[in-house]
Each structure stands twice: as C-alpha cells, then as structure tokens.
Structure 1
Amino acid sequence: MSDLLRPFRRAVTYTRWLHLFLAVVWPAMWMYVADGWALASVAVLAAAGLVPAARMIEGMQARLLLTGHRPDGADGRIVAMPSVTWGDRGRTVVWLEIRLFLGFFVALLTVQLPLLTVDLLTLARGGGRADGSLFPVPGHHGWYALLSPLPLVVLGAVVVGSGRLITELALRLLGPSPVERLTTLEARTEQLLERNRIARELHDSIGHALTVAVVQAGAARAANSREFTERALVAIEETGRAALEDLERVLAVLREVERPATGRPTLADADRLLQSARASGASVDAEVTGVLARVPGPVSREGYRILQEALTNVLRHAGPVPVRVRVRADHDRVHLEVRNPLPEGRPGSGRGGSGLRGIRERAAMLGGRTLAGPDGDGEWQVRVELPLG
C-alpha cells in the first residue's frame, strides 16, 4: 500500500500534472471563440515547433516541471537550447502535438472522473446526474455508492501514468541530438584532460618545491653552519615563491579566470630550475644548445615540466649528487637528458613512481618518446625527445 501511495507524496507528480494542463489552456480558451479550434491548434503548434526558440522554451519548462530540476540547471537528459537542425525542429513539432493531445485527454478525465463519482453517489440516493457529465450511468441503484471511489482511483492512476509517460517522451524528443551528444562528450573529454593537466602541474611544481625545501633543510642541519643555513633559507624562499606563483596560475584555471598560457614557465626559464638544484647542493653540469625561444609554446611548457620533474626525482631519490643536464633544440625536435649517479645499494630502485609516469604522459601527449632507467654504467638517465610539429 505504501508503494502505491508513494508517487502522491512527491511534488513532481503534481508538477507533471500541471505541465499537461498548461498544454491545453490556450486551446480551451480558443474553443469558446472560434470554430475549428482543434485543427487550428494543431496547425499553430506545428508552425511554432519550427521556430528554434520553441525547443529552448519547452526544454526549460520540461526541466522545471517534469524532472524537478532548475530550468537553467545542468540536466543533460533534456536540452534547453534552440533547435539547430531540421531534425531538432521535427522532434519539437512532434513533442508539441503529443503534449497537446495527451494534455487534452488528461484534462478531460480530470474533470469527468470526479463528476462520475458525484453521479454515482447522487444516483445511489435517487437523484439526477450532474450537468456536464459525459459518462452515462443508467438507472438508480444503491450499490452505485460502493463504486463511487473507483473513478478517483482511476484518476490517480491516470495522473501518475500520464506524468511518467510525458516525462519519458520529453527525454526522447527533447533530449540531446547525436551532434549535441558528441559536443557534450568532447567538452567532457576536454574537461578531464584539463583536470589531468592541473593535477600534473600541481604535482610537478609543488613536489619540486617541497623536495628542494626538505633537501635544503636536511643539508643545513647536517652542515651546522650559519652561512650555509642562510643560503639554504634563501633557496627555500625562492623555490617556495616560484611554487606559489605556479599554484596561483593553476587556481586561476580552477576559478575559470582567463589567463594566457604564455604566463606558464617554458624551457627559456630553465635557469631557475638549475639554480634551484644547485642551491640544494647538487652539482649541475648544464649544456643548452639551440634557440629555445623558437620552440613552440606547448612543447616548451611541457619540456619545462619534464625537466623540473626529472631534477626533482634526482633530489628526492639520490640527494645532492652531480647531475648532467643536456637540452638541445634541433630544427624538428627538442632533446632533454638528465643523468646522475645511482644511489648506493639501490641500483635502479624506487624510481618508477608518479613522477616518471607524468614525464611519460607529457611526452606521449606531444607525440614524443621517453627513456628512463639505469644505463649500465652506474648512472640513472632520463632521456626525452619532443617533436616540434
């Protein structure tokens, strides 16, 4: 019994009922002032459905009354956008016509079924039928009183069933077209890619800063030198400030603040990475060949992050050791190479975490190649090639 009454405790049941009533308000008014109102209503709705804005209006109304969502909310099941193709217009016309006929049927039963209940009760007591009643009830019988609740039960079933039917039709006729589904899927894919990029940005930038801070603090404590401690604090301050700038850029994306992509660091800013590694105690032998300023923006920005992550891995896993960095920009690609001695007792271990995975993902995204691992001579190497095309 509780399951049967549950729909009547939901507000959407009554808003769907109202939605069907609204479809016949103006044809009902027209019925009293003009002949041929039914045919004229069908023709007017057919013409209105061809107007692009009709789909948007019907979609907003359906979202609000049929699904319980705000008309401006993100409910992808029903589209609140103007018609773009003739297919969208055709589906809107079909929707309007079905809504008109179904609404007329429900409105008629909404009026007539309660009148039938009144007729049954009145005839059971020997009275006459109510004015306007369309359902014939012959004779006067006392047992009609027992049947009087039945029309109201039927009305409840009609209200619930027609509401579910019109909602299902709205999902089919006002739902997204194949082109709109593809557009939504592409937008969702772009959003996921942007989130992955933001996650990599945070990992690379904040991870590098924290690694430098930890290495510097540990080295300062071990050195027990005031002068070295001051240099370490300066390095931590500079690295932290750079990380905060990167964090602000990432947060700007999350806040949907339009910032030019050129505001992100590129390979032309690689000196600050090398200085940060040197300030952490690592001996960095760097060699840059070619004109980095000519490297396309996306390649240069991702190359900077790859170099940053490679140096972070050195400091995190090997500590302040000698590092060889080679950056070469050719006419068709950029070559990045970072080498360092392997930590004693850990030949090639502990170097396959999220950092290397991020390097491979960045390189693969640009169509590049990555080689990472021990080289057989007691060194760890990270070599990346990024095409410029």
Structure 2
Amino acid sequence: MSKLIPLAAAAVLGLIGVAEIALDGAFSRAPAAPVAVLAAVVAGAVIAAWLPVAGTAVVATGFPIATVGGLTGPTGVVVLAFFLAPGWAGYRQPPRRSWAAPLAAQVMASLGTWIAGRAAGSTVAGLGAMAWENLFFGLLAWGAWGVGIVARRLRERADLLARLAAAQDAERTARERAVVVEERQRIARDMHDAVAHSLSVMVLQLGAVRSTLPSGTPQADMLLGVERLGRESVRELRALLGMLRAEPDPTAQPSLARLAELVAEVRAAGLPVQMHIHGDVVSLPRALDASAYRVVQEALTNVLRHAGTVPTTVAVRRDAGRVTVVVENEPGAPGRVGTGGGHGLVGMRERVAMFDGEFAASARADGGFLVRAGFPVTA
C-alpha cells in the first residue's frame, strides 16, 4: 500500500505537467526543456516508491535541468514535487536516514539558481533573486521534510496506542478468565466437600450393612447393586468435579461443528462411519447444539459397545425450524449383543425431551439399530 502513494503521485504529476506544457504558450513553442523536466519529476516519483531519498534527489534535478534548458526557473510541477518528495521521505524513513532528501533538494535548488544567475549576468538584482530563490526552495524542502517527520511520529504514536489497547484487552480477558477458573474451582471444592464426601460415606455404610447379611440372599444382592451404583456415581461425580477444576477450553465444547472430530475418533477406534450433513448446523442455540452432539456421541458409543465395528451412518439435517439427527448401524457380529443395563438411551431421550423434541430408538428387521432425534429450532 505504501508504494501506491508515490506511484499515484507520479501519475498525477505527469498529468499536471502535460497540462502545463499544453496550456503555457512559452512551453508549447519550445517543449524540449519542459518535457525533460517533467520526465525527471515523474521518474523521481516512481523511484521514491522504493527509495524515498534517491527519488527526492532525482525529482530535484528538474530545477537545474530547467535552467540548463533555457527556462528562467523551475516549472510549476517542479515546485509541487519539491514539496511532496522530501515530505514523503520524512514520512517513510526515520530522520537519521531521510535528512539527506531535503539536503539533496537544496543542493539542486542552489545549482539551478546558480546556472540561472550565470545566464542572466551577475548583477546586484540577479544576485538578490538567486539568494531569494535558493532560500525559498531550501525552506520549502526542509519544511516539507519536517511535515513528513511529524506525520510519521503521529502514525507511530497511533500504532503504539493500538498495540497498548490490544495488550490491555488481552490482559483484561486473562483476568476475567482467571476469575472464572477460580470460581469453578471453588464450586468444585464445595461440591466435593458437601456431596462427594457424603455419598462416599453412604456407600461405605451400605457395604458395612451388606457384610452383615448372608451372601446370596435377595437383600444382600440388592444392597450389592446399590453399592455398585453408588461407587459408579462417586466416580462420575469426581470426574465432573475434575472437569470443573480444569480451565475451560472454548474450542473443546460439544458442538455439531466438531462432529467431524468425533467421527474421526470413532473411526480410529475401528468403527467405519459415514457422515452426511445437510444444511447449516453451525448457527444453532448453544444448549441444543451440545445436546444434539451428545446424542450422536452416545449413539456411536452404543454401537461400539453392543454391535462392534460394523458399518454405521450418521446423518444430520437442518431444515426450517428443525434439526434431525439419525445414527444407524448394520447388524452386529454374533455374540455382540449388549446387556441392556446402561442408561444411554434414557439419557438421549431426556436430552431431546428438554427441547420438546421427538426421540426414537429401535432395532431394525435385519438386526441393525436406528436412533433418530428431532430438535425443534425456534427463532
């Protein structure tokens, strides 16, 4: 983008120079010198896109070229370029490197006025005019360079303020995230102290009561089942509390947008899965999105658990006001039939019921299994 500015300036200066030559009668009658001056100005502006100081020096040669060509002074396009080129050098490069640009312009202005003075004769009036032109063009070059330096420092200050604002935003976000993590850890500690400990004590007491009963009796078997369920609940509760203690990862939240990752994981486990997604499944309400993802996850887990590594199809369709999830698998190998004691189907049904949706899970006639969940999406 920075190179486009001097290139555009070269085009504009070229148009102005052509108009000046065409409209000025003296230039149009003897255009050789004005054309040479214009060529130097345009060439210098193009060079300034890559080398601002060198481009300024080439632009400034238009002054002595004009006086050598018989003109009484620089053309209008040279005067305009005398202001633009040193200013551009001061804007693009630091002062320790760009100071040579106005110096080169002043040297060329002094050379041009000296050549013009030699041609006009060394009279008092001529010497005064030479001194004035030299002073005028020197002030013009150095003043333009100063304007460029000021603009450069304003730009650097704006960039610095933008970086500081970004750093402050990042620091504020980090502080807010730290507060969230600390609160989650506090909740996890409180739940562990209030719930997990009490549940563990209950399980231990059940085990103690069961040990007093004769083994093999219905009461002992019932207490054994309750004890096992309690131990499983303690493990699940501690796992949930561990998730609360961990720092949340926004990219790891359950979402249909991450369905390809889930399918890749079960494929790595040996389950051949084909996935089909129709419609926009990204811009869904967050809770519904997570529940639909969990239904697919639980259904695929059930396929691995009860049917084995059989061909499975996952289809998700987003229609107007509805999201439908279908997980269908082929018949499992003989002997790979689940015990039916899990809570996967119940959990999926409850997730769908939270959104007043429809859930169906049934065996197919050929021995496969079909899970279908429909979630209404309200505006």
Q: Would you call these one fold, judging by a TM-score over 0.5?
A: no
Query: Normalized per residue, which structure has more helix?
Result: 2
Highest RCO, 1 vs 2 (Cα 8 Å, sep ≥ 6)? 1
Structure number with bigger Rg:
2
Question: With structure 1 as the length reference, what TM-score do the two structures score?
Answer: 0.33
